[in-house]
Amino acid sequence: MSIQKNLNKIKSQLPEHVTLVAVSKTKPVSDLMEAYDAGQRIFGENKIQEMANKYEQMPKDIEWHMIGHVQSNKVKYMASFVSLIHGADSIKLLKEINKQAKKHDRIINCLLQIKIASEDSKFGLSTEVASTLINSEPFSALKNIKVIGLMGMATFTNDKNQVKQEFDILKSSFNELKAFESSNLKLETISMGMSGDFELAINSGSTMVRVGSSIFGLRNY
Ligand SMILES: *Cc1c(COP(=O)(O)O)cnc(C)c1O
């Protein structure tokens, strides 16, 4: 199937309140343009340099989402244009995002990554640590970032029950942390669900799904 057909099929499965991030990592600009021409305007990448290269080559009405793990020293390469950073997981990183956003006189939206998977390899904060972070002095001093939601990745497994349980953890984490609101914090977005599990994620309350291979085909690394 073509990228356009894949895209339309996924979109037909999404309720209106769910935002689709087309995950285009490793794919050539020509593939992204096919999605763009079919109407897609939000793209997700997991490497900052690759995202910056594609940003330069593509139309400027695209929203670029950084969905991968972010190293502080690379924030500067995307600070001028990134529209949402999904994987914020430390005060150190948030401070650097704030610093770089300030240089460009803008506010960068972020999601806090919560660890919901049982695997050790997945990044993220516990709900408790996230709660401490957003209620801390250093956090409230960050005027050039805004935390607008949470992001999580479920364990890579065929066990749907486990995946559902992990998505439910993110939803309850969201409900708990939503009680806190401040000038740079207003939780509205729950980013969870990928090609294999976005329907489960939506049933558990996802408002933003990150879908790659079901749109662009399998990736060769
Ligand atoms: C690659 C990736 C996705 C998309 O995965 P697919 O299975 O191809 O849909 C979603 N989220 C993150 C964080 C990713 O790195």
Written as six digits, the tokens of 148 are 């607008």
What b/e string do you get for 122-131 counting C-beta neighbours within 10 Å, with b at 16 or more? bbbbebebbb
Residue 24 C-alpha to ligand 1 middle, in angstroms? 9
Quote the DSSP letter at residue 114. Answer: B
- Output the pLDDT for position 23: 98
Q: Is 159 exposed, middle or buried (0-12, 13-18, 19+ CB in 10 A)?
A: exposed
Rg from Cα positions in the chain: 17
- Output the pLDDT for position 121: 67
Residue 126 C-alpha to ligand 1 middle, in angstroms? 21
Which mutation among 9, 23, 86 tests ligand 1's pocket best, with the greatest number of atoms within 8 A of CB? Answer: 23
- Output the pLDDT for position 165: 97
Angle between helices 127-134 and 160-177 in degrees, nearest 10: 20
- Output the pLDDT for position 100: 98
- Output the pLDDT for position 120: 73
**Which residues does a 6 A CB cutoff place in the pocket of ligand 1?**
23, 25, 46, 67-68, 153, 194-196, 210-214
Which amino acid residue places its CA nearest to atom 11 of ligand 1?
A: 210
Tell me if the pTM is above 0.85. Answer: yes
- Output the pLDDT for position 220: 80
- Output the pLDDT for position 118: 86
Helix (H) or strand (E) holding 110: strand 108-113
Where the chain has pLDDT below 70, the residues are 121-122, 221
Domains and CATH numbers, the chain: 3-214 (3.20.20.10)
- Output the pLDDT for position 119: 80
